[in-house]
Amino acid sequence: MADGAYRWFGSAPEPDAARVAEIEAGWDEAGAQAFAEPARAAAVERFDRAFAAIRTGDLAGAAERLDEVRSVLNSLNPDALEPRSGLAGLFDSRGKRLKRFRENWRGAIAGLTGAAEGLSEPIADADRRAAALDGVWAEVRDTVAELDAHLSVAASRLKGAAPTEDAGDRPLKARSEALDACRAAALQTLSLIRVAQNADARAAGSLKTSVEAVTAWRDDWRDALGLAGKRPKKVRPDPERLVRSRGIVLARIDRALAELNTARARRAEVEGRMAELRATLQG
């Protein structure tokens, strides 16, 4: 996806006049019951591909990774840099605490790096899924246009047909109603594909922001702990700075988790709606 968002639903183009004329020229009264079958079959096949693409990928793994990162961050409490007061603090120096804190930070960085790298796969999955859905979206739109062309021919023939006592028995009328239902389902599919893509795009965007926040936090703490570049002889980290920096990344992670929950709920709604539509695409 180019900008990570899908804000347009689009609409099917008007049926091509030349295509309508071509269908009209090939009209066969005896084949009315199977009229436009290739177009209907194409709608079903393309719907199934869209449905399969939407159901691939699981955001639960990304949520687990974010929980891991948050747990590690919470374990690094800047309060641990402050010596105890009273008699307990006689042998508890700032230097010793800083040394232990640095060691804990180094150990945490390895785990955080692995967890952050693990988020790259769901982000890539969302991008691949968006590209696949872009392609099938265009194909479904074209199918709607093809169904429109056939329905135009059917409407013209039904309008010019002589009335009968039981119009419902006319094969073309029944077929036209079935094709119209198929077209309606395909048209709704266009919107549902975009809803699924929007959900994925927002989730992937929040994951990218979280990864960037973890990187910024790591660099800020490295500097605050005196581990960046040439190390000074004396370092006294500012606890407020450390707390503030950690709070920023934790807030980003919390927002990402909320976005993931929303995305999963929306995708579940889309899947449920598409499962209902699938029945209307039968012949």
| Nearest residue to 226 via CA among 76, 91, 77, 95 | 95
Residue 99: what pLDDT?
86
Question: pLDDT (tens digit, 9 = 90+) per residue, 86-115?
Answer: 444 545 567 788 888 889 888 888 888 888
pLDDT at 2 over 70: no
Question: pLDDT (tens digit, 9 = 90+) per residue, 159-174?
Answer: 876 555 455 448 999 9
Report domain extents, the chain.
Answer: 34-160+167-280
Higher pLDDT, 5 or 79: 79
